[in-house]
Amino acid sequence: MGRTVVELFYDVISPYSWLGFEVLCRYQHIWNIDLRFRPAFLSGIMQQTGNKPPAMLPKRGEYMLKDLKRMAKYYQVPVQTSRHDFQRIISTSTLATMRFLTAIDVTNPQYLEPLSREFWLRFWSQHEDISQPEDILAVARQAGLSSELSQKILEMTSTPAVKDRLKETTAEAVKHGAFGMPAVVAHYNGEPHLFFGCDRLELLGSIIGEKWLGPVPS
């Protein structure tokens, strides 16, 4: 029986995407799946679907901070929340960041997983910026990329090919029905199944015939 293709559409500005990313990384060698990381642009998805950030509703924003703290502990992912997080999100554009990840996906996909993780760690654990060229290069070094490769990839982010690739991936997520992130799409029995959020992975397993062993399977 072939492996089920599972796509994770994500943006490193999204903490829930980090939770889903880590859990799927843990399951990719347990479940019979072909996990594919699909860096996309969350702001583009929000704009195309008319969605709004959760913090636009104050009570929802208050709940989200508490929820993230509980979820981070349960999923064993070092998300560190603070009352300044929503302002940080609003004032940070990840367009250049996601183009950098897109360029890596095209040229050196073996770095995509560790590089994505380092971006999340920098923004959500260390509370540092990830949007400026010097920040992007610092994260790339932390992920093990050479200075030469990092600079080459950074230069690629301004090319039409990389810009178009990110637009296409974002549009593909919307076509599957995504309105936020993470968006997980399982291609099973000849059709795509969309799961929104990091807390639907147990349901994902049920649909594709795999056993859920908790967020940290032994």
Write out pLDDT tens, residues 58-72. 888 889 989 999 999
pLDDT (average), residues 113-121: 98
State residue 58's pLDDT score: 84
pLDDT tens per residue, range 133-170: 999 999 999 999 999 999 999 999 999 999 999 999 99
Question: What's the sign of the alpha-carbon dihedral 7, 91, 19, 27?
Answer: positive
More confident residue, 117 or 64: 117
Using the predicted structure, report yes or no on whether residue 55 has a pLDDT greater than 80: no
pLDDT (average), residues 170-180: 98
State residue 132's pLDDT score: 97
pLDDT tens per residue, range 75-108: 999 999 988 888 888 889 999 999 999 999 999 9
pTM of this structure: 0.96
pLDDT (average), residues 175-185: 97
Using the predicted structure, report yes or no on whether residue 215 has a pLDDT greater than 90: yes
Question: Residue 145: what are its φ and ψ, rounded to 5°?
Answer: -80, 145
Task: Report CA dihedral (117, 120, 124, 129) to the nearest 10 degrees.
Answer: 130
Of 153, 151, 174, 171, nearest to 162 by C-alpha is: 153
Three-class DSSP category at 40 = coil
Q: Helices marked H in the chain — which ranges?
A: 15-27, 42-49, 58-75, 85-90, 95-107, 112-120, 133-142, 147-156, 160-175, 201-208
State residue 1's pLDDT score: 63
What is d(CA 33, CA 184) in angstroms, rounded to the nearest whole number? 13
pLDDT tens per residue, range 5-49: 999 999 999 999 999 999 999 999 999 999 999 999 999 999 999
State residue 129's pLDDT score: 96
What is the set of domains in the chain, with CATH numbers? Answer: 4-208 (3.40.30.10)
**Single-letter amino acid code for the residue at 178:** A
Where does residue 194 fall: left (phi above 0), alpha (psi -120 to 50 degrees), or beta otherwise? beta
Three-class DSSP category at 196 = strand
Residue-wise over 64-91: b if at least 16 C-beta within 10 A, else e? beeebeebbeebebebebeeebbeebee
Provide the annotated active-site residues: 14
Using the predicted structure, report yes or no on whether residue 205 has a pLDDT greater than 90: yes
